[in-house]
């Protein structure tokens, strides 16, 4: 009999939280044969990730996953073998009461946000006894063997490498999105939050000797692009200034977004889901980390950079770090970008090396299944 799991997701960052839990649910079904329900409080966000979804449906099935609307007023439901509380969302009180009555009690896991901070490995897997008698375990994705690892489907890197070696497949994919890459242009994708310093980078690209074709999925960065261009931007539009061409894409499915990342020479990503997928793309990247009060996000950024620049020469590592740091505070990054370009071949090699290094580790879904098995 298949083990049954519930995953709860309260959407905070529009798509990042929903994206992670949707990928995880699909992988648990496809690769581990589990029976999975995904409870989400924002089906409209989910429907953008899964175009076949009905944002008004109380319950629906996609790729073997039962996707359920998390109701405001909770009703009775059968408690499964394992419960994943994603990103510290609070389970419904009636649900936890039912967990308490179940025999045997389910494994309760708090799947936390991805972090490279040192304290994560010390907290990963620790129990947290609850006042009602239940026990919850902390589970941290991460970049070391002492954490839960990263989400990665079986054969993902091999598929990516094959796609990047197939120019015909890349052209077919891009044309399917209405993209005709410009001759000799640097292909860049930008999926980011608002950034007051964006114009400094755009100025450099517009005045560069090499053309840049910037692909921008519909999202929060469009306002900054419109202000720089001085004209309206919406899905399907293309605008050119100097050597920079900006093309706005529709919000695409997760599978298409992977192919977009794989097709580009440089990817700007945000949140958690696209951050991890950009690493599997094996291409140079920039992470626009989610801004938190009192700059609590900056130590998280520094912790990741400390790991990521390992293996780069000091000048290349410094150039990459300064670009990421400048972007994260909305600063002028014109000179930082120029400095990074001085080390571009090394940055490209490093991106692939980083990907392969972490692909050798146990993936997050498998680590969760192993954790569940050890709890029995």
Options 42, 112, 224, 272, the catalytic residue = 272
Is 17 a residue of the active site? Answer: yes
- What is d(CA 262, CA 2) in angstroms, rounded to the nearest whole number? 35
Are 195 and 330 spatial neighbours (Cβ–Cβ below 8 Å)?
yes
Are 81 and 2 spatial neighbours (Cβ–Cβ below 8 Å)?
no
Are 78 and 95 spatial neighbours (Cβ–Cβ below 8 Å)?
no
Is 272 a residue of the active site? Answer: yes
- Token representation of residue 67: 């996707």
Options 6, 13, 17, 224, the catalytic residue = 17
- What is d(CA 153, CA 113) in angstroms, rounded to the nearest whole number? 19
Beta strands 65-69 and 59-62 are: antiparallel
Active site residues: 17, 272
């Amino acid at each position: 009999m298949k083990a049954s799991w519930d995953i709860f997701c309260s959407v905070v960052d529009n798509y990042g939280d929903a994206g992670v839990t949707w990928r995880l649910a699909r992988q648990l079904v496809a690769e581990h044969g589990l029976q999975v329900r995904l409870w989400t409080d924002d089906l409209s966000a989910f429907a953008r990730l899964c175009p076949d979804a009905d944002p008004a449906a109380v319950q629906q099935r996609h790729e073997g996953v039962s996707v359920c609307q998390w109701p405001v007023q909770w009703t009775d439901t059968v408690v499964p073998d394992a419960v994943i509380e994603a990103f510290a969302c609070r389970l419904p009180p009636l649900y936890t009461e039912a967990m308490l009555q179940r025999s045997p009690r389910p494994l309760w896991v708090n799947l936390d946000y991805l972090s490279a901070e040192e304290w994560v490995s010390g907290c990963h897997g620790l129990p947290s006894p609850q006042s009602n008698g239940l026990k919850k375990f902390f589970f941290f994705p991460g970049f070391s063997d002492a954490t839960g690892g990263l989400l990665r489907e079986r054969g993902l890197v091999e598929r990516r490498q094959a796609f990047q070696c197939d120019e015909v497949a890349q052209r077919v994919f891009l044309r399917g999105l209405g993209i005709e890459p410009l001759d000799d242009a640097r292909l860049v994708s930008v999926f980011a939050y608002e950034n007051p310093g964006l114009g400094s980078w755009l100025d450099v690209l517009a005045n560069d000797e090499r053309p840049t074709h910037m692909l921008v999925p519909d999202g929060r960065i469009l306002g900054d692009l419109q202000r720089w261009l001085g004209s309206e931007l919406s899905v399907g539009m293309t605008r050119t200034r100097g050597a920079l061409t900006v093309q706005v894409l529709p919000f695409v499915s997760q599978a298409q977004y992977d192919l977009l990342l794989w097709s580009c020479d440089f990817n700007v990503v945000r949140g958690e889901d696209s951050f991890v997928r950009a690493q599997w793309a094996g291409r140079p990247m920039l992470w626009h980390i989610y801004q938190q009060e009192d700059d609590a996000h900056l130590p998280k950024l520094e912790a990741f950079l400390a790991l990521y620049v390992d293996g780069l020469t000091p000048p290349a590592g410094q150039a990459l770090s300064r670009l990421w740091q400048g972007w994260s505070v909305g600063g002028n990054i014109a000179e930082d970008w120029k400095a990074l370009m001085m080390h571009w071949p090394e940055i490209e090699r490093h991106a692939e090396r980083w990907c392969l290094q972490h692909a050798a580790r146990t993936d997050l879904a498998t680590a969760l299944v192993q954790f569940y098995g050890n709890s029995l």
